[in-house]
């Protein structure tokens, strides 16, 4: 059996969680392979809306195992809040959620360091969510991190050494803080964490493959936020592309099967950083309002623009995408004209390649296509698609060289067309 991967191709918020939920019935295991509670996956079904931050999006399907992989950074306090909210709504988790021993812990002082470092940057802020993600990954790489498995190996000593080290770092920023309440919430989260099955994730995943289980690896954020290949330095702190699934779960490259690349029919971005197709006019506002483009974790309004095929071709290439998933097609229902960026003019020269620095003077080259001006939100099959929408799909498939296998027409899991 193979590990199929589902990930975002833009700057995050593409709608990956919904598609994981839709695809989960075909798998035995759903495994999150990177990121932290800065990633909000919104799911809607049966009249309810759920926001997941650290828990994989397959959690609502009965009889499926969900794994928080070693590539994830986990905040026990926020994890406890998430679990409590789901259990209050009638979803039991302890029998279906496993946690890798090698997943790193976000300490309460990581959140303080995140706030202190972001504040010190002034106008050069990256736009972090303030959840301590960057400092936790920094400690991981510098070999100073604490992992879930450390809970059972001299944990108090390791925790105190780490906290004292962070306090010294905070003193350099002259940052005022009160750690007591944060620690109280964090240790309450640790007790909640211990209620779950804690596993050697890499052994569990590989043994499951050998016994014939199908596994879906779930990514967070988007490919344009990858720490190596995204719009650096305005990126997240982990590898969000398909190669990250191997590192984040402990599987070899030859086990990877299908790669589902999820993108919106237009483009959005949260926080700072370059955005070549951004619209700051009424069209951008209309996209934001129709698409309800506000961060599920932060509530921040998302920047909106037309689809960027230069960036999409780049992320399709990096990920080895085999199937495309187009989200929020219904948001474009009212437009009489749809625009798509097919190339850039950079310093007077046209290119279809993504430049090293997206902050350069970039002018998008546009193609205009007729809109369909039809409400598609209640359609049940692709036979009902307007001709203009079919033409848009064909145009995108020709540009990207990969078939669009799934089309989403709204937030509910039922508003999904498998082609």
pLDDT (tens digit per residue) in 51-79: 888 999 999 888 999 999 999 999 999 99
- Look at residue 126 in the predicted model and tell me its pLDDT: 55
Return mean pLDDT, the chain. Answer: 93
- Look at residue 380 in the predicted model and tell me its pLDDT: 94
What percentage of the chain exceeds 90 in pLDDT?
80
| Residue 233, preceding peptide bond in cis (omega within 30° of 0) | yes
Rounded to two decimals, what is the model's pTM?
A: 0.93
Average confidence (pLDDT) over 166-191: 91
- Look at residue 352 in the predicted model and tell me its pLDDT: 96
- Look at residue 360 in the predicted model and tell me its pLDDT: 77
Task: Answer whether residue 130 shows pLDDT above 70.
Answer: yes
128 or 253, which is more confident?
A: 253
Confidence of residue 374 (pLDDT cuts 50, 70, 90): very high
- Report which of 343, 358, 357, 66 is spatially closest to residue 199, judged by C-alpha positions: 66
Q: Angle at CA 379, nearest 5°, toward 375 and 380?
A: 175
- Look at residue 285 in the predicted model and tell me its pLDDT: 94
Q: Is 13 a catalytic residue?
A: yes
175-184 contact pairs (CB < 8 A, 24+): 175/112, 175/115, 175/116, 175/119, 177/112, 179/108, 179/109, 179/112, 182/77, 182/108, 182/111, 182/112, 183/108
Instruction: Tell me the C-alpha to C-alpha distance, in Å, between residue 399 and each of 331, 343, 390, 403.
Output: 21, 11, 14, 10
- Report which of 70, 39, 73, 79 is spatially closest to residue 221, judged by C-alpha positions: 39
CB 284 within 8 A of CB 31: no
Confidence of residue 173 (pLDDT cuts 50, 70, 90): confident
Confidence of residue 298 (pLDDT cuts 50, 70, 90): low
Average confidence (pLDDT) over 371-397: 96
- Look at residue 297 in the predicted model and tell me its pLDDT: 62
119 or 386, which is more confident?
A: 386
Point out the catalytic residue in the list 4, 21, 41, 308: 41
Residue pointed to by tokens 């990920």? 319
Task: Answer whether residue 48 shows pLDDT above 80.
Answer: no
Query: How many Cβ atoms are within 10 Å of 223's Cβ, its own excluded?
Result: 31
**CA atoms of 342 and 408, how far apart (whole Å):** 23
CB 54 within 8 A of CB 72: yes
List strands edge to edge, sheet with 3-8. Answer: 197-199, 97-100, 65-68, 29-32, 215-218, 3-8, 256-264, 323-327, 404-408, 416-418
Segments of 157-214 assigned E as strands: 197-199
SS (H, E, C) 358-417: CCCCEEEEEEEEECCCCCCCCCCCHHHCCHHHHHHHHHHHHHHCCCEEEEECCCECCCEE
DSSP classification of residue 354: P
**CA atoms of 237 and 174, how far apart (whole Å):** 25
Paired with 218 in beta bridges are 6, 32
Point out the catalytic residue in the list 13, 21, 114, 308: 13
Task: Answer whether residue 90 shows pLDDT above 90.
Answer: no
CB 60 within 8 A of CB 20: no
Task: Answer whether residue 122 shows pLDDT above 70.
Answer: no
What percentage of the chain exceeds 70 in pLDDT?
97
H or E segment and range at residue 259: strand 256-264
Average confidence (pLDDT) over 239-259: 97
- Look at residue 405 in the predicted model and tell me its pLDDT: 98
Average confidence (pLDDT) over 205-234: 96
- Look at residue 175 in the predicted model and tell me its pLDDT: 80
- Look at residue 141 in the predicted model and tell me its pLDDT: 95
Average confidence (pLDDT) over 305-316: 98
- Look at residue 208 in the predicted model and tell me its pLDDT: 98
């Amino acid at each position: 059996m193979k590990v199929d991967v589902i990930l975002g191709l833009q700057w995050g918020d593409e709608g990956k969680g919904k598609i994981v939920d839709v695809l989960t019935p075909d798998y035995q295991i759903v495994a999150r392979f990177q990121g932290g509670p800065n990633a909000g996956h919104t799911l809607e079904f049966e009249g309810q809306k759920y926001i997941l931050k650290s828990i994989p999006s397959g959690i609502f399907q009965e009889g499926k195992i969900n794994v928080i992989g070693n590539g994830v950074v986990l905040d026990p306090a926020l994890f406890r809040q998430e679990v409590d909210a789901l259990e209050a709504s009638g979803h039991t988790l302890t029998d279906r959620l496993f946690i890798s021993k090698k997943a790193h812990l976000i300490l309460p002082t990581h959140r303080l360091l995140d706030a202190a470092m972001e504040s010190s940057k002034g106008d050069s802020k990256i736009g972090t969510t303030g959840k301590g993600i960057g400092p936790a990954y920094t400690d991981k790489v510098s070999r100073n991190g604490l992992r879930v498995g450390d809970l059972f190996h001299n944990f108090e000593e390791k925790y105190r050494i780490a906290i004292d080290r962070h306090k010294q770092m905070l003193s350099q920023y002259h940052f005022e803080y009160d750690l007591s309440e944060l620690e109280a919430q964090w240790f309450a989260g640790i007790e909640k964490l211990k209620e779950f099955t804690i596993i050697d994730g890499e052994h569990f995943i590989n043994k499951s493959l050998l016994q014939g289980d199908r596994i879906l690896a779930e990514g967070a954020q988007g490919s344009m936020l990858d720490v190596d290949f995204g719009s650096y330095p305005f990126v997240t702190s982990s590898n969000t592309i398909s190669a990250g699934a191997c590192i984040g779960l402990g599987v070899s490259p030859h086990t990877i099967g299908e790669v589902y690349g999820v993108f919106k029919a237009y483009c959005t971005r949260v926080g700072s950083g370059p955005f070549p197709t951004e619209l700051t006019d009424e069209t951008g506002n209309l996209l934001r309002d129709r698409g309800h483009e506000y961060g599920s974790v932060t509530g921040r309004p998302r920047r909106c623009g037309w689809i960027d095929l230069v960036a999409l071709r780049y992320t399709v290439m990096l990920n080895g995408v085999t199937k495309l998933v187009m989200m929020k097609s219904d948001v474009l229902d009212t437009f009489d004209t749809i625009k798509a960026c097919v190339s850039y003019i950079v310093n007077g020269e046209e290119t279809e390649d993504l430049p090293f620095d997206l902050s350069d003077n970039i002018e998008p080259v546009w193609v205009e296509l007729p809109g369909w001006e039809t409400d598609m939100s209640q359609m049940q099959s692709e036979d009902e698609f307007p001709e203009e929408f079919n033409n848009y799909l064909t145009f995108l498939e020709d540009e990207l060289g990969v078939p669009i296998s799934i089309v989403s027409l709204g937030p509910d899991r039922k508003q999904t067309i498998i082609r």
